[in-house]
Amino acid sequence: MITKEIIINKFKEIQSEICQKLEQLDTKSTFSVEPWQHHSGGGGITRVIQNGNIFEKGGVNFSAVEGTLPDKIKNALKVEETAFFATGISIVIHPENPFHPIIHMNIRYFELADGTYWFGGGIDLTPIYVDANEAKFFHTELKKVCDEFDSSFYPKFKTWADNYFFIDHRNETRGIGGVFFDRLNDKSTALTKEKIFDFVCKLGLSFAPTYIKIIENKGLNPNCSPDNKKWQYVRRGRYVEFNLVYDKGTKFGLDTNGRTESILMSMPPQANWVYNFQVLPSSNESFTQENLKKDIQWI
What are the residue numbers of the active site? 104
List phi, psi (to 5°) of 129: -120, 115
In the complex, minimum distance from the CB of residue 130 to a copy of itself, in angstroms, rounded to a whole number:
21
Under rule CB under 8 A, residue 71 binds a copy of itself: no
Q: How far is the CB of 169 from a copy of itself (least distance, A)?
A: 5
CA-CA distance, 220 to 106, in Å (whole number)? 25
Quick one: which segment of 12-20, 68-76, 164-172, 196-204 binds a copy of itself (CB under 8 A)? Answer: 164-172
- Name the residue type at position 147: D
Among 201, 224, 271, 279, binds a copy of itself (CB under 8 A): 271
CB of residue 225 vs a copy of itself: minimum separation in angstroms? 18
DSSP H/E element including 18:
helix 4-26
Spell out the residues 6+ positions from residue 87 whose beta carbon is closer than 8 angstroms to its own: 4, 7, 8, 11, 62, 63, 64, 65, 108, 109
Q: Counting contacts by CB under 8 A, is residue 48 touching a copy of itself?
A: yes
Q: Does 245 bind a copy of itself (CB under 8 A)?
A: yes
Q: Is 269 in the site for a copy of itself (CB under 8 A)?
A: yes
C-beta closer to a copy of itself: residue 92 or 214: 92
Burial of 116 (0-12, 13-18, 19+ CB in 10 A): middle
76 binds a copy of itself (CB under 8 A): no
261 burial (CB, 10 Å; 0-12 / 13-18 / 19+) is middle
Using DSSP's 3-state secondary structure scheme, residue 62 falls into strand
By CB under 8 A, tell whether 275 contacts a copy of itself: yes
Q: Is 170 in the site for a copy of itself (CB under 8 A)?
A: yes
228 lies in the site for a copy of itself, by CB under 8 A: no
Give the residue, chosen from 263, 285, 291, 298, that forms a contact with a copy of itself under the rule CB under 8 A: 263
Task: Give the C-alpha separation, 109 to 121, whole Å.
Answer: 9
**Minimum distance of a copy of itself from residue 41's CB (angstroms):** 19
Amino acid at site 156:
K
Overall residue count recorded for the chain in this entry: 299
Q: Which of 79, 201, 224, 264 binds a copy of itself (CB under 8 A)?
A: 264
Q: Which residues pair with 48 in a beta bridge?
A: 59
CB 179 within 8 Å of CB 59? no
Which region, judged by CB under 8 A, interacts with a copy of itself, from 14-22, 135-143, 183-191, 233-241? Answer: 233-241
Query: Could you say which of 113, 220, 274, 299 contacts a copy of itself (CB under 8 A)?
Result: 274
> Which residue, 210 or 266, is less far from a copy of itself as judged by CB?
266
Which of 59/122 has CB closer to a copy of itself?
A: 59
What's the rounded Cα separation, in Å, for the pair 170 and 130? Answer: 17
- Report helix, strand or coil for 84: strand
Q: Which residues bind a copy of itself (CB under 8 A)?
A: 32, 34, 48, 50, 57, 59, 168-170, 233, 237, 240-241, 244-245, 254, 257, 260-261, 263-265, 267-276
